[in-house]
Amino acid sequence: MTRLKAAITQMASENDWARNCDKAEALVRRAVAEGAGLVLLQELFDGDYFCIEQHAAFLARATEIDRHPTVKRFAALARELGVVLPVSVFERAGTVHFNTTVIVDADGRQLGIYRKSHIPDGRGYQEKFYFSPGDTGFKVWDTAAGRIGLGICWDQWFPEAARAMALMGAELLLYPTAIGSEPPNPDYDSSTHWQNVMRGHAAANIMPLLAANRVGRETAPDGRFDIFYGRSFIADHQGEKLAEMDRVEEGIRLAEFDLAAIADLRRSWGLFRDRRPELYGALLTLDGRNKSAVG
């Protein structure tokens, strides 16, 4: 596809699967009615954000992909509307659990899955209790909307992930997200930092980027809470924001791209021609020591 109109959604989720899915479906339908060929829903949109604290009972929410009701419902919706629709779900796989996105093409086919690679662990975001680190590696998919790469929330802070997907041929980067208040420091607002990091991914790799976040206050059984700050946005291939939502609204935003023209610019710019992979050994270590250079 040369030209693509893509959309992000933003909504508040609650502990009610049917209401969440109804709301998400309405947003997808609205985006497609406005011409979207790809719609990005937020991370784990079909439920409340259960990772605020550690409660083993929430593990029962995970379901195998092949019988997951959210996947089935939104694959049928993608087929009906002819839209590419990544679907973020809580996956059970044998005895482990993953934070997973299923890539659904415009004909309703499931092209594959991506399991979240970077798992946060801190007050308000205790995901390591619920999710194993993803084992799929970073991936890209040829879809009716173009060749897409996708990371999930915490993945978006790592430039290595975006660059890996760009090297694999992605034309568009997608980040379904659940981020908001910082319980250890209630006065700190990370939302601009959050946007700027991803805008850097778009500019560094010369490709558009979509980020879909949630809004609203969500409270854990023990009374602790997160306030999700929204600010979902679409950036162009230079990192400029083309569309943005505020901190509380529910709705959609759209932007249109000429993917062929952007690809021509990306090829001509020389960023990928002039890479020096043999110098980046420190990236393969945790402590920054380039072991290939150590005698």
Which entry of 23, 43, 91, 139 is annotated as an active-site residue?
43
Q: Evaluate whether 42 touches 252 at the Cβ level (below 8 Å).
A: no
The long-range contacts involving 260-268, CB below 8 angstroms and separated by at least 24 positions, are 260/2, 262/171, 262/206, 262/207, 262/208, 262/237, 263/171, 265/206, 265/237, 266/205, 266/206, 266/207, 266/237
| 43: annotated active-site residue | yes
| 116: annotated active-site residue | yes
| 34: annotated active-site residue | no
Which entry of 21, 127, 153, 218 is annotated as an active-site residue?
153
Which entry of 23, 51, 116, 218 is annotated as an active-site residue?
116
Which residues are the active-site residues?
43, 116, 153
